[in-house]
Amino acid sequence: MSCKQSQKLTTDSFSTVSIDTLLEDSLLNIRAIELNDNKLMAVSSIGDRYSIDLRTNTILKDRVSKDTLNFRASALVETVYFTLSIGSPALLFKEKKLVYKETHPAVFYDALHFWNSNDGIAIGDPTDGCMSIIMTRDAGQTWNKIACELLPSAVKGEAAFAASDTNIAIVGDHTWVATGGFSSRILYSSDKGISWTVFETPSIQGLETTGVFSIDFYDALNGFAIGGDYTTPQNQYSNKMRTEDGGKTWEVVAQNQNPGYRSCVQYVPNSESKGLVAIGFEGIDYSNDAGASWKHLSDEGFYTLRFLNDSTAYAAGKERLSKLSFRK
């Protein structure tokens, strides 16, 4: 989760980013990372789990399961690490204990998040007539799937993307879930997933490969979403949008301007909802005006990132996991 430190940073002058690679391997593919104090946890598409002490850069590696599983979602709750695999059967682990299993031809979970140490949520593609949502209320010991009668109906061809584990944004009890594909919308709950409504978006949509890939909220009102079409990553049409009313309405920003497709966006901590960093396999971009304009900082590609503080983040992707230091 992004850490919002007490020290305020004026983010009007980030001009460079330096990249220090901590882990590199030709077989590495990571789309889920989590930060907690001085600890980073990550899980790969072949089931390797990494624990990194950020004070010493000591790296420990083990396996979540004896089976080779593709993980693209995780959550670090205090010291407990949860990991969730894609495909059928979907397998959710609390550390190395299997706590949820779902078998269905269409099952495909995309993101995992917690409101607090007890209450958590994971979202995935529809298996019936709604997006798949499972929740825990007992610190991840048990998980239950929410009946479609309690959720907004899915539009034909609506799903989500397991690109960066950032389809879910949480601020307090408020929760936003971004969908994509033939329809790209925002599912919203004000009460930790008890009740849900849906908001339309102006995001590019209409194909399986289009829509919102990542969403982040700075506070209960200010949010940003990014995506596009990963098959045409240089297309900059209707792939960046922001809200100032808690997701009820969205405004396309930087239309037909850099960046194109990006798989992850995160607010810069202490930036008063103005600072944003977006990354994807075509590089790293930065905005200091709530997404109205962007500066391309690097061509180095990653899938996902999380901020440690207001100038340091960690990013992961194909073949590497790195520390990103943003400088004026």
Each residue's pLDDT, cut to its tens digit, for the chain (328 residues) gives 444 443 444 445 799 999 999 999 999 999 999 999 889 999 999 999 999 999 999 999 999 999 999 999 999 999 999 999 999 999 999 999 999 999 999 999 999 999 999 999 999 999 999 999 999 999 999 999 999 999 999 999 999 999 999 999 999 999 999 999 999 999 999 999 999 999 999 999 999 999 999 999 999 999 999 999 999 999 999 999 999 999 999 999 999 999 999 999 999 999 999 999 999 999 999 999 999 999 999 999 999 999 999 999 999 999 999 999 999 9
Q: Which of 316, 190, 308 is nearest to 264 (CA)?
A: 316
User: Is 7 among the domain residues?
Assistant: no
User: Is 87 among the domain residues?
Assistant: yes
The structure's pTM equals 0.95
Cβ density class 235-265: b for 16+ within 10 Å, e for less = bbebbbbbbeebbeebebbbeeebbbbbbbb
Count of CB atoms situated within 10 Å of the CB of 68: 10
**Host domain of residue 282:** 16-327
User: Is 93 among the domain residues?
Assistant: yes
Do residues 266 and 277 lie in contact, with contact meaning Cβ atoms separated by under 8 Å?
Answer: yes
Kind and range of the H or E element at 307?
A: strand 304-307
Check which CATH number belongs to the domain holding 223 and give it.
Answer: 2.130.10.10
User: Is 104 among the domain residues?
Assistant: yes
Residue type, 79: T
User: Is 76 among the domain residues?
Assistant: yes
Backbone dihedral angles phi then psi of residue 311, each to the nearest 5 degrees = -145, 0
Q: Which of 226, 218, 220, 273 is nearest to 253 (CA)?
A: 226
User: Is 9 among the domain residues?
Assistant: no
Residue with tokens 């299993």: 101
The total number of structural domains that make up the chain:
1
Largest CA-CA distance found in the chain, in angstroms, rounded: 51
Residue type, 211: G
Q: Name residues whose C-beta falls within 8 Å of residue 163's C-beta, 6 or more positions apart in sequence.
A: 31, 72, 213, 214, 230, 263, 264, 303, 304
User: Is 4 among the domain residues?
Assistant: no
